[in-house]
């Protein structure tokens, strides 16, 4: 990987291993790199420990989404989903367990898969597809169960409300749709850009991040990042962040958001921005918290750079992994 | 009186007995009596008495008196003895020193109270010079014995006593050479193996690829840690403390680079990690108030890795570190007399220090609560430090301004003017306005009205002066054209009218003539004036020179008949021609004597080829330049000096 390629690298996705000691990151060249957190956080870490322990090529196009469950790593790129075993990866064996692709209507274009999430109720994988549909893959039988149609433009992100078994999807058309996973019907549709408090016409109406906490939902993108109460389907707080947010997450009583701008924003539920912690990439695409391990409970962010910043203390950047 | 040998032992015994007697009686009279009666030299007796008193004290100490009062009464006795003059002045201090050395601390406390109470005695002239060093040594010994953290109050009392005893500029309490406490080393886990933190399985492979379960269960490991530690920051942060401990190593290039790097990282963390948790700090404030405002005191930093996160989020801790930076920078930049000459900062270092100082102040202002106030206070304190540093460098000059002795007997001269003087009524009667210029102006004439009437303020011209020009122009022989006459000038006309109104009676004579314009009116006025004014008015001033010369010349001739003086006539053309012809090509020799410039000479040369002509031109140029001074006399003088005396004779004949 020459210096020019490194300059143009973007990290789109991250996922922690089930034991919490490794981090997998996918970039725009279709590669996945595995970093060892335990080595990098140990007292005798060296500069070498900030390099990946394993790098391999996973897909033809960019790796937009990575997801881990108890023993597998799932990666999605342009049109296909691959599954890898963490145990094998740690042993540096990079053969995928399986690769599947959803049924696309047209065979001319290969729409990308932007995001994935698990629906633990019926052990299925929900895929946000570039063909304006949400695909559901049954992990037990390995077949694509259903297709949720309704969006008029490609779907950016999906999230699952664990208790109710609802799927939320946000798309380029500016709509956040809520689907019932059993029937496959669209239960609600919120057009965020139609609400004046959230709308930011200068950026557009697209929704690039949706995350939910069962009762609450955070969504943002073109419109401002906003916290919604799902029962009443109304926005409760608007966060005055400049730029479009690409990933958000609930953390204790705070909200973490990353997007345009070289900073991680910490916001309070009331709508105020508590802090903006600077980081090295100029704009950020992905934010992950390592909840699988208490020893290595770090926050990692990646974006338009070959560096992935690691925060042991949420308020300052500790060090960076690099591809 | 015969010289008898002084019997020391005998004297000592007698004095000892007398001292005990005096103690019992609580009066020093018996001791004084015995002293005076005993035969011997004063000095010998005094030293013997000193010894005696010390001996008495020694016995008392050996008896282990429970009550300190007995020691104190002996010391009182010795003070009285000094006042009476029978004992040397150092004895009370020696006794005090002995007593404090021999007693345990609780009793020392009581003795020391005695010392404190008698500060005025110690400061009196008879005791001070003799005893101050003893007192200082005594106090320092006590301080060494005491523990700063356990006997804080006693230490404080001793320090306060010293502060009251010595003048403000006493050097003994100073850190004169600005030395550092090099023993204050901050210990932290530098070595990874020494880390008491979560001993991990050492059988893990280098690249750590094995998935291990149950990795926490080792027996020797302490309770498993549950947070990730930033070792990098931890090590760099605590290494900085070593630079604060011994700033002199900053002057070494290699250490400086390390210091720079680590500081930049640490300050970047401070900058990124902003403390704005007002809720937490409000709670702390309330707790502080509730607990009665007890001060937080700690002697050394706690450097466990697990505390790092907590420390970073504590505002007091940050203030400590940032303040350390500021103190360090002040030392590095400051002029200290005792720094070695190799301790100089170069330009890069100075620039970095200035930038970082700004950053540190900014960070200080951001730390809640009351960051701004704290920062201004710190700045003020550091500025005061500069003054103290300067004072030390100058050798700790005393703060007491001494009166110079010789001023007293003289009557003090007036530094300021007596009121009469500057109000203009005194002998000089010169009024001082406070400013030299104003004084000069004011004193030209102190009465305004008189000043205005003085002759120098008479600006109105006389008729003949003003109208001289107009009269001359009115003269038809001068043939001045109408439009160029002064009377046509409206400004001139207006002034002429004003002048006429003030000075001329013609202005008020009624006239039947009707004047079409001011100029015509003025013409008639001018002609009237011309008739009136005397003939020899300055309008003929141009010709004055010649007439005067003529007059002078005639007078001269009349006065002195015998002097064959050369007449001071203007050189005539004929004369010039003659001279020119005679000069010929030698005119150049004459030229410098006529003070002709080289440029003019060149001009003459180019004007004509003929040497006679050139000579003539020279003489003409000379005449033009000299004007009325172009007399025969001066030409003759020039000719003589040039060496053409024969021509001069010709002139004189002509």
Report ipTM for this prediction: 0.82
The verdict on residue B340 lying in a domain is: yes
Residues with Cβ < 8 Å from B26, sequence gap 6 or more? B73
Asked whether the beta carbons of B182 and A11 are under 8 A apart, the reply is no
* Subunit contact B233:A90, Cβ cutoff 8 A: no
Asked whether the beta carbons of A75 and A99 are under 8 A apart, the reply is no
Question: Are B460 and B381 within one domain?
Answer: no
**Among the listed residues B569, B573, B536, B543, the one whose alpha carbon sits nearest the alpha carbon of residue B554:** B569
Measure the CA angle with vertex B354, ends B349 and B358; round to 5°: 145
Question: Are B362 and B466 within one domain?
Answer: no
Q: What CA–CA distances, in Å, run from B366 to A204, B216, B319, B355?
A: 37, 41, 10, 17
Residues with Cβ < 8 Å from B252, sequence gap 6 or more? none
For B277, nearest residue in chain A (alpha carbons): A274
Asked whether the beta carbons of A264 and A277 are under 8 A apart, the reply is yes
For B309, nearest residue in chain A (alpha carbons): A313
Q: What CA–CA distances, in Å, run from B312 to A148, B268, B322, B409, B436?
A: 49, 12, 12, 69, 66
Question: Are B482 and B596 within one domain?
Answer: no
* Domain end marker among B149, B165, B181: B165
**Among the listed residues A188, A54, A63, the one whose alpha carbon sits nearest the alpha carbon of residue A116:** A63
* Domain end marker among B150, B165, B180: B165
Note every long-range contact of A134-140, with CB atoms under 8 Å and residues 24 or more positions apart, other chains counting: A134/A158, A134/A167, A134/A169, A134/A179, A135/A102, A136/A181, A137/A81, A137/A100, A137/A102
- Report the sign of the C-alpha dihedral through residues B278, B282, B283, B284, in that order: positive
* Subunit contact A313:B200, Cβ cutoff 8 A: no
Q: What token pair was written down for A288? A: 């992950």
Helix residue ranges per DSSP H, B510-572: 518-532, 544-559
Question: Are B525 and B579 within one domain?
Answer: no
Question: Are B596 and B525 within one domain?
Answer: no
Q: What token pair was written down for A27? A: 């970039």
pLDDT of residue B149: 78
Measure the CA angle with vertex B62, ends B58 and B67; round to 5°: 95
Question: Are B31 and B117 within one domain?
Answer: yes
**Domain total of chain B:** 4
The verdict on residue B549 lying in a domain is: no
Which chain A residues are Cβ-neighbours of B273 within 8 angstroms?
277, 313, 315-316
Q: Which domain holds residue B483?
A: 453-506+520-529
**Residue found under tokens 């930011």:** A200
Which chain B residues are Cβ-neighbours of A42 within 8 angstroms?
192, 200, 231
Q: What CA–CA distances, in Å, run from B9 to A250, B5, B44, B52?
A: 96, 12, 12, 10
For residue B211, give the DSSP letter.
Answer: -
What H or E segment, with its residue span, contains residue B9? helix B8-25
DSSP string, B346-357: -HHHHHHHHHHH
Q: What token pair was written down for B56? A: 């008495």
Question: Are B274 and B372 within one domain?
Answer: yes
The verdict on residue B178 lying in a domain is: no
Measure the CA angle with vertex B184, ends B360 and B336; round to 5°: 60
Residues with Cβ < 8 Å from B593, sequence gap 6 or more? B638, B639, B641, B642
For residue B269, count other CB atoms closer than 10 A to its CB: 19
**Among the listed residues A287, A136, A309, the one whose alpha carbon sits nearest the alpha carbon of residue A220:** A287
Distance (Å) from the alpha carbon of A55 to chain B's nearest alpha carbon: 14
* Subunit contact A277:B276, Cβ cutoff 8 A: no
The verdict on residue B88 lying in a domain is: yes
pLDDT of residue B539: 44
B432 part of contact set with chain A, CB < 8 Å? no
* Subunit contact B211:A19, Cβ cutoff 8 A: yes
Q: Measure CB to CB from residue A297 to each of B207, B224, B228 and give the nearest one.
A: B228
The verdict on residue B430 lying in a domain is: no
Ranges of residues in chain A with a pLDDT under 70 are: none
- Cα gap B170→B581, rounded to integer Å: 101
pTM score, whole prediction: 0.61
Question: Are B54 and B130 within one domain?
Answer: yes
B223 part of contact set with chain A, CB < 8 Å? no
A315 part of contact set with chain B, CB < 8 Å? yes
Asked whether the beta carbons of B263 and B270 are under 8 A apart, the reply is no
Q: What is the dihedral of CA A226, A230, A236, A239, to 10 degrees?
A: -10
Question: Are B525 and B578 within one domain?
Answer: no
Distance (Å) from the alpha carbon of A293 to chain B's nearest alpha carbon: 9
> Which 3 state secondary structure label does DSSP give A124?
strand
- Cα gap A185→B298, rounded to integer Å: 66
Burial of residue B406 (number of CB atoms within 10 Å: 0-12, 13-18, 19+): exposed
Q: What CA–CA distances, in Å, run from B244 to B184, B192, B343?
A: 10, 24, 16
How long is chain B?
A: 654
Best probe of the A interface among B272, B306, B313, B315, by most A CBs < 10 A, is B272
pLDDT of residue A55: 93
* Subunit contact B209:A297, Cβ cutoff 8 A: no
- Cα gap A186→A122, rounded to integer Å: 18
Residues with Cβ < 8 Å from A317, sequence gap 6 or more? A277, A278, A279, A280, A309, A310, A311, B272
* Subunit contact B207:A277, Cβ cutoff 8 A: no
pLDDT in tens, A291-316: 888 888 899 999 999 999 999 888 88
What H or E segment, with its residue span, contains residue B329? helix B315-333
Best probe of the A interface among B209, B221, B226, B277, by most A CBs < 10 A, is B209
Which chain A residues are Cβ-neighbours of B197 within 8 angstroms?
43
* Subunit contact B224:A295, Cβ cutoff 8 A: yes
- In a 13 Å sphere around the CA of B35, the CA atoms on its Cβ side amount to 25
Which chain B residues are Cβ-neighbours of A86 within 8 angstroms?
211
**Among the listed residues B128, B226, B98, B120, the one whose alpha carbon sits nearest the alpha carbon of residue B164:** B120
The verdict on residue B435 lying in a domain is: no
A233 part of contact set with chain B, CB < 8 Å? no
Q: What CA–CA distances, in Å, run from B107 to B56, B87, B102, B103, B161?
A: 19, 26, 10, 6, 18
Question: Are B524 and B598 within one domain?
Answer: no
* Domain end marker among B394, B410, B439: B394
Measure the CA angle with vertex B98, ends B97 and B104; round to 5°: 95
**Among the listed residues B543, B542, B547, B540, the one whose alpha carbon sits nearest the alpha carbon of residue B475:** B540
**Residue found under tokens 């508590």:** A274
> Which 3 state secondary structure label does DSSP give A249?
strand
The verdict on residue B642 lying in a domain is: yes
Q: What token pair was written down for A201? A: 């016409």
Ranges of residues in chain B with a pLDDT under 50 are: 1-2, 193, 196-224, 292-293, 537-567
Question: Are B140 and B48 within one domain?
Answer: yes
Q: What token pair was written down for B364? A: 């200080």
DSSP string, B444-481: H-S-HHHHHHSGGG--PPPHHHHHHHHHHHH-GGG---
Residues 157-196 of B with CB under 8 A from A: 192, 195
The verdict on residue B292 lying in a domain is: no
Question: Are B478 and B585 within one domain?
Answer: no
For B216, nearest residue in chain A (alpha carbons): A295
- Cα gap B104→B74, rounded to integer Å: 19
């Amino acid at each position: 990987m020459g210096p020019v390629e490194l300059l143009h690298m973007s990290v789109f996705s991250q996922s922690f291993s089930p034991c919490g000691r490794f981090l997998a990151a996918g970039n725009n060249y279709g590669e996945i790199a595995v970093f060892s957190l335990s080595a990098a956080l140990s007292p005798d870490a060296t500069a070498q420990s900030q390099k990946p322990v394993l790098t391999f090529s996973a897909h033809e196009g960019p790796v937009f989404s990575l997801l881990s469950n108890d023993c597998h790593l799932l990666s999605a790129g342009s049109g296909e989903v691959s599954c890898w075993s963490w145990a094998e990866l740690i042993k540096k064996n990079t053969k995928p367990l399986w690769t599947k692709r959803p049924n696309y209507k047209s065979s001319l274009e290969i729409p990308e898969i932007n995001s994935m999430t698990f629906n633990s109720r019926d052990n299925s994988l929900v895929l946000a597809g570039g063909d304006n549909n949400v695909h559901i893959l049954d992990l037990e039988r390995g077949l694509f169960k259903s297709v949720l149609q309704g969006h008029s433009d490609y779907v950016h992100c999906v999230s699952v409300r664990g208790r109710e078994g609802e799927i939320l999807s946000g798309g380029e058309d500016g709509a956040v749709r809520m689907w019932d996973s059993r029937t496959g019907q669209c239960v609600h549709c919120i057009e965020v850009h139609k609400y004046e408090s959230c709308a930011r016409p200068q950026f557009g109406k697209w929704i690039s991040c949706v995350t939910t906490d069962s009762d609450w939902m955070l969504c943002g993108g073109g419109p401002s990042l906003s916290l919604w109460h799902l029962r009443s389907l109304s926005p409760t707080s608007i966060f005055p962040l400049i730029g479009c947010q690409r990933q958000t997450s609930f953390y204790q009583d705070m909200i973490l958001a990353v997007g345009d701008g070289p900073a991680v924003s910490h916001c309070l539920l009331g709508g105020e921005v508590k802090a903006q912690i600077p980081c090295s990439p100029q704009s950020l695409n992905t934010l992950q918290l390592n909840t699988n391990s208490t020893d290595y409970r770090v926050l990692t962010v990646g974006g338009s750079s070959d560096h992935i910043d690691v925060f042991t203390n949420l308020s300052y950047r500790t060090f960076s992994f690099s591809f | 009186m015969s010289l008898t040998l002084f019997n020391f032992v005998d004297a000592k015994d007698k004095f000892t007995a007398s001292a005990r007697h005096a103690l019992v009686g609580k009066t020093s009279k018996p001791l004084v009596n015995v002293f005076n009666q005993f035969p011997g030299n004063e000095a010998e007796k005094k030293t013997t008495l000193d010894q005696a008193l010390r001996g008495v004290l020694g016995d008392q100490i050996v008896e282990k008196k429970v009550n300190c009062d007995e020691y104190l009464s002996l010391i009182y006795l010795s003070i009285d003895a000094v006042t009476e003059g029978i004992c040397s002045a150092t004895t009370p201090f020696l006794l005090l020193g002995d007593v404090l050395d021999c007693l345990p601390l609780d009793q020392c406390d009581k003795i020391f109270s005695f010392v404190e109470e008698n500060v005025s005695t110690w400061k009196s002239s008879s005791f001070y010079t003799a005893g101050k060093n003893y007192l200082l040594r005594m106090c320092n010994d006590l301080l060494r014995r005491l523990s700063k953290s356990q006997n804080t109050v006693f230490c404080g009392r001793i320090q306060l006593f010293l502060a009251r005893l010595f003048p403000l500029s006493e050097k003994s309490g100073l850190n004169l050479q600005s030395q550092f406490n090099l023993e204050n080393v901050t210990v932290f886990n530098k070595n990874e193996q020494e880390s008491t933190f979560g001993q991990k399985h050492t059988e893990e492979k280098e690249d750590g690829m094995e998935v291990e379960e149950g990795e926490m269960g080792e027996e020797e490991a302490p309770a498993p840690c549950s947070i990730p530690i930033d070792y990098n920051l931890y090590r760099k942060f605590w290494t900085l403390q070593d630079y604060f401990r011994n700033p002199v190593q900053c002057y070494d290039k290699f250490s400086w680079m390390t210091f720079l790097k680590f500081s930049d990282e640490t300050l970047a963390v401070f900058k990124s990690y902003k403390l704005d948790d007002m809720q937490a700090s409000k709670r702390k404030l309330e707790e502080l108030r509730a607990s009665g405002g007890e001060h937080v005191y700690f002697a050394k930093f706690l450097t466990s890795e697990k505390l790092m996160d907590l420390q970073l989020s504590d505002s007091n801790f940050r203030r400590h570190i940032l303040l350390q930076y500021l103190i360090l920078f002040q030392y590095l930049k400051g002029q200290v007399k005792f720094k070695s000459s190799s301790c100089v900062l170069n330009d890069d270092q100075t620039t970095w220090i200035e930038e970082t100082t700004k950053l540190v102040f900014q960070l200080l202002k951001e730390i809640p609560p009351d960051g701004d106030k704290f920062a201004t206070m710190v700045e003020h304190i550091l500025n005061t430090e500069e003054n103290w540093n300067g004072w030390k460098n100058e050798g700790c000059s005393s703060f007491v301004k001494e009166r110079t002795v010789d001023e007293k007997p003289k009557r003090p001269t007036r530094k300021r003017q007596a009121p009469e003087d500057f109000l203009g009524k005194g002998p000089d009667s010169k009024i001082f306005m406070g400013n030299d210029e104003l004084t000069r102006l004011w004193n030209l004439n102190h009465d305004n009205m008189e000043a205005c009437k003085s002759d120098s303020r008479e600006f109105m011209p006389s008729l003949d002066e003003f109208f001289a020009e107009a009269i001359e122009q009115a003269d038809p022989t001068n043939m001045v054209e109408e439009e160029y006459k002064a009377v046509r000038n409206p400004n001139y006309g207006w002034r002429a009218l004003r002048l006429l109104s003030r000075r001329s009676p013609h202005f008020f004579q009624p006239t039947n003539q009707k004047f079409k314009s001011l100029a015509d009116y003025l013409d008639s006025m001018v002609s009237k004036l011309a008739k009136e004014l005397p003939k020899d008015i300055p309008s003929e001033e141009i010709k004055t020179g010649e007439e005067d010369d003529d007059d002078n010349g005639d007078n001269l001739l009349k006065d002195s008949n015998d002097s064959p003086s050369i007449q001071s006539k203007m050189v005539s053309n004929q004369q010039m021609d003659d001279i020119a012809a005679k000069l010929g090509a030698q005119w150049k020799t004459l030229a410098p004597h006529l003070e002709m410039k080289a440029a003019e000479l060149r001009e003459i040369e180019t004007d004509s080829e003929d040497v006679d002509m050139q000579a003539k031109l020279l003489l003409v140029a000379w005449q033009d330049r000299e004007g009325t001074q172009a007399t025969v006399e001066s030409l003759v003088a020039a000719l003589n000096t040039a060496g053409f005396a024969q021509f001069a004779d010709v002139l004189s004949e002509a």
